[in-house]
Amino acid sequence: SQTIHQWPATLVQPVGSPLSLECTVEGTSNPNLYWYRQAAGRGLQLLFYSVGIGQISSEVPQNLSASRPQDRQFILSSKKLLLSDSGFYLCAWSLGAGGDTQYFGPGTRLTVL
């Protein structure tokens, strides 16, 4: 069966510091991978998605970036965090063309102070 991991679960960072959130998927090959951000009590905002190694689509221009160095690894990064980067970050995967359901990781709660 497939599983998706995210770490860290919780992170508190000062403004201006760098960020690296990691997501890995097990039990499937060549998945589509997604990063979402969710503000408290709000909906999901798609940040990035990837259909393959090195292929990243950005949905929202901001100081965040994403990379996919391996087939089942997806990394969200920032060189300098802003207060507005605080939120709950969710990684998700789905099968590619012809696939349907999206499955989510447990999320990372990021607080920027």
**Residues in the site for other proteins, rule: CB under 8 A?**
32, 34, 38, 41-44, 46, 49, 51, 88, 90, 92, 94, 96-98, 100-104, 106-107, 109
State which residue, 16 or 96, has the beta carbon closest to other proteins: 96
Q: Compute the half-sphere exposure of residue 9: CA atoms within 13 Å on the CB side of its CA.
A: 1
Rounded distance between C-alpha atoms, residue 63 and residue 77, angstroms: 9
Give the shortest CB-58-to-other proteins separation in angstroms: 12
Give the shortest CB-79-to-other proteins separation in angstroms: 26
Specify the 3-state DSSP secondary structure of 83: helix
